[in-house]
Amino acid sequence: GQACSATGPLPAGSGTALVERGTCAFQEKLDNVTAAGYSAGIVFNSAVPGCDELVTMAAASETVPFVFVGRTTGLQLLGVPGVSH
């Protein structure tokens, strides 16, 4: 999911949340990841031209690591069949 309030609540968890870019600001994603109990978050790029390019996220937390990866990396982390570099 996208970890946005408008797209529904993020299921509770304790590991690393993997969320897709889009719909809401990075800070909202981070706040929702933190509120759901995750210890870290990874945002992967949405399906747009240049979707494997990296961006700088405007989000900050004192306690929860939060990073951005390209779409291919995100799909690989999800275990989507047939996705390679």
Average pLDDT over residues 35-46: 95
Angle in degrees, CA 61, 29, 7, rounded to 5? 160
For residue 7, which phi and psi values (nearest 5 degrees)?
Answer: -100, 10
What does the alpha-carbon distance between residue 3 and residue 11 come to, in Å, rounded to a whole number?
Answer: 9
Q: Which two tokens mark 46? A: 């949405």
pLDDT at residue 76, rounded to an integer: 95
Q: What is the pTM of this model?
A: 0.90
* SS3 call for 37: coil
Average pLDDT over residues 54-61: 88
pLDDT at residue 85, rounded to an integer: 62
User: Would you say 41 and 64 are in contact if contact means Cβ atoms under 8 Å apart?
Assistant: yes
Among 41, 40, 45, smallest CA distance to 70 is for 45
